[in-house]
Amino acid sequence: MAHDLIPCETRADDTASSAMAGAVVIVCTTCRARTVDEDGSTRYGERVGPAVSERLCTALRDQGLAPSVAVTGAACMAGCGRPCAIAIQAPGKAGYLFGSIETDEEISAIATFAGQYLELADGWCSSLQRPEALKGKTLARLPAPVVAFPLSMANAESVE
Ligand code: FES
């Protein structure tokens, strides 16, 4: 998977910032602007990720979250029909994938949610707890990764 750090202007060293961040927001670098014609056909235009990342960095900075939330990029997160797709993750926390993040209000809501997310012990929250502008835009909420254990242990437990 391609991972490209998208630098926020406020950071001198993004690698260090990413390592210290409490959460990482991942912006799809390959989502394309989507328009639906009157006949219902869909057209895809230019890539929107770079501009969305820049506006997200601004929103995080404006909300005082830039030191705590890193921004990175990934090529396609399977939300292609809902550009721009944006995910948020942190170790030990539920992860989220949002789609159709386009407007300044929606991008600002992602930043606001990132701030809320930092305060959630396990990352789990309902749609009612998330910013209004993100209603209907959650494509996935995944539980925190479980600690892996050897397959032989799983088999032994299932036999008993
Ligand atoms: S191209 Fe962005 S999710 Fe697939």
**pLDDT per position as a tens digit, 86-143:** 999 999 999 999 999 999 999 999 999 999 999 999 999 999 999 999 999 999 999 9
Question: At 108, which CATH number?
Answer: 3.40.30.10
The residue range of the domain holding 152 is: 3-159
Interatomic CA distance for residues 102 and 5, integer angstroms: 20
Closest CA to 84 of 120, 116, 52: 52
- Residue 154 C-alpha to ligand 1 middle, in angstroms? 35
- Residue 74 C-alpha to ligand 1 middle, in angstroms? 9
Give the pocket of ligand 1 (CB within 6 Å): 28, 30-31, 76-80, 83, 85
Structural domains counted in the chain:
1
What is the pLDDT at residue 152?
A: 67
Label residue 66 by pLDDT band (50, 70, 90): confident
The DSSP result for 116-136, as a single string, is HHHH-SS----GGGS-GGGTT
Interatomic CA distance for residues 111 and 131, integer angstroms: 10
- Residue 3 C-alpha to ligand 1 middle, in angstroms? 13
